[in-house]
Amino acid sequence: MLAGFRKSSNLVFIDLKVSRQEGERDTMARKPDGNSSAITGSGSTRTVAQLKALRSQIDKLDQMIVKTINERAAIAAEIGRAKREQGEDIFAPAREEEVYTNVLETHRKAKGSLDETTIRAIFREIISGSRALQKVLKVAYLGPEYSFSHLAAVEHFGQSVEFVPVGTIAAVFEEVQRSHVDFGVVPIENSTDGRVSDTLDMFVRMPHLQINGEVRVHIHHNLVANCEPQEIRRIYSKAQALSQCRNWLAKNMPSAQIKDVSSTSIAAELAMREPGAAAVASRQAAVRYGLRVLFAQIEDSPYNETRFAVIGQRRAEKTGRDKTAVMFRLPHSPGTLAEALDVFKQNKINLTWIESFPSQTAKSEYLFFVDFEGHPDEPKVGRAIKALAEHSAELTVLGAFPVAQTVGG
């Protein structure tokens, strides 16, 4: 039977379980009990027959689904051949977003009973598998497996890619820069802690790399271990994860020693190996390392969200629902920032993010990172970028990408 679906972080897992007890209830006849035995036996027989008929219908539908998926995959392979002949990129974020939009709109019109997250997850893997028939993408991320960067990469690309875990954010950029991978996934900001400085620093160092996608993940942290709460002496996690749970940890684990490590997955591995150790990590990491979730969702803010940037060599095409990211440096004189930002007001463009960052120069200057609604191919966005460049000492367009919805939770 379909036991249901469960959402964990940003991934949707579908549980298929056959209940032994249900099977016993279906097949075991009750002992005779006077005149009621015939009625009960008849009802039980009808129930078994109904279940058999319903399951037969599901089997037929499954066969149709498999046949249709393979027909779709064959067409996708033909599209891949046409793309190669025309020299186009295999990965087309704009087209994939269009597919998701069409599918979810169809689902809404049909008033389907499944959650939209489930529908999107199913089609994410169909798209990922079909894309792999054209080319298996290589994607670098801040590892190891089951880190939140890994989960974000799976959410964006699906499972049918070659994931390349690396040890630092800088290494993700280097892998993309050297064309060792097709794309990289890096955290760019968190709703609790703000900017991720290592990522902004790498955009300063490698401004030619393009943001061609974003992933917004509702982050849930869990205290995981193989010991009882009162036995915990050390708690491992990444600095950002610990920061996002600092109030909960101070209140509930005041005696535990807090230790910063490079990722939540490494923290989970240490908790598995060391007696008296726990980790702040994802539920998936707990499953991977055989740990128990002692306390779930211990993040201080119920709205804890991390935004990840997908980086590559080329800019994404316009979808009609996009954002553009730019980095610029202004002359150090009164009113320059106000004048620069007025460009967006004049062109009626909504800013969605602004961040200042120390410039790597001898002067005490700052770079500004902003993203805003629209795509550079749109006339008003093109005008705004041109006007902003006139106000700036330097300006770099870091990319354009489809707007992402928050997943997970």
Report the pLDDT value the prediction gives residue 5, as an integer from 0 to 100.
35
pLDDT tens readout for residues 70-128: 999 999 999 999 988 988 888 988 889 899 999 999 999 999 999 998 999 999 999 99
In this predicted structure, what is the pLDDT of residue 362? Answer: 55
pLDDT at 283 over 70: yes
pLDDT higher at 251 or 9: 251
Answer yes or no: is pLDDT of 20 > 70.
no
- Tell me, what amino acid is at 401? F
Say what the pLDDT of residue 34 is.
43
One-letter amino acid for residue 18 of the chain? V
The tokens for 177 are: 């820069």
CATH number for the region 222-295 comes to 3.40.190.10
Distance separating alpha carbons of residues 338 and 242, to the nearest angstrom: 36
pTM of the model: 0.83
Tokens 């990289």 identify what position? 184
**What radius of gyration do the chain's Cα atoms show?**
26
Q: Which of 92-96, 130-134, 290-294, 384-388 has the lowest mean pLDDT?
A: 92-96
pLDDT in tens, 140-179: 999 899 999 999 999 999 999 999 999 999 999 999 999 9
pLDDT at 35 over 60: no
Q: Which two tokens stand for residue 292?
A: 């128990």
Exposure string over 127-139, b if 16+ CB within 10 A, otherwise e: bbbbbbbbeebbb
Q: Decide if 155 contacts 187 (C-beta within 8 A).
A: no
DSSP E strands in 105-230: the ranges are: 138-142, 162-166, 183-190, 194-195, 210-218, 222-225
Q: Region 246-271: what's the mean pLDDT?
A: 96
Contact 349, 382 (CB under 8 A): no
**Positive or negative CA dihedral for 161, 165, 170, 174?**
negative
379 preceded by a cis bond (ω within 30 of 0): no
Q: What is the CATH number of domain 318-407?
A: 3.30.70.260
The CATH number assigned to the domain with range 32-135 reads 1.20.59.10
For residues 17 and 116, which has the higher predicted lDDT (pLDDT)?
A: 116
- Of 237, 245, 259, 265, nearest to 142 by C-alpha is 265
Neighbours of 140 (CB within 10 A): 26
Mean pLDDT of the chain: 88
- Bridge partners (DSSP) of residue 396 are 327
Question: What are the boundaries of each domain within the chain?
Answer: 32-135, 222-295, 318-407
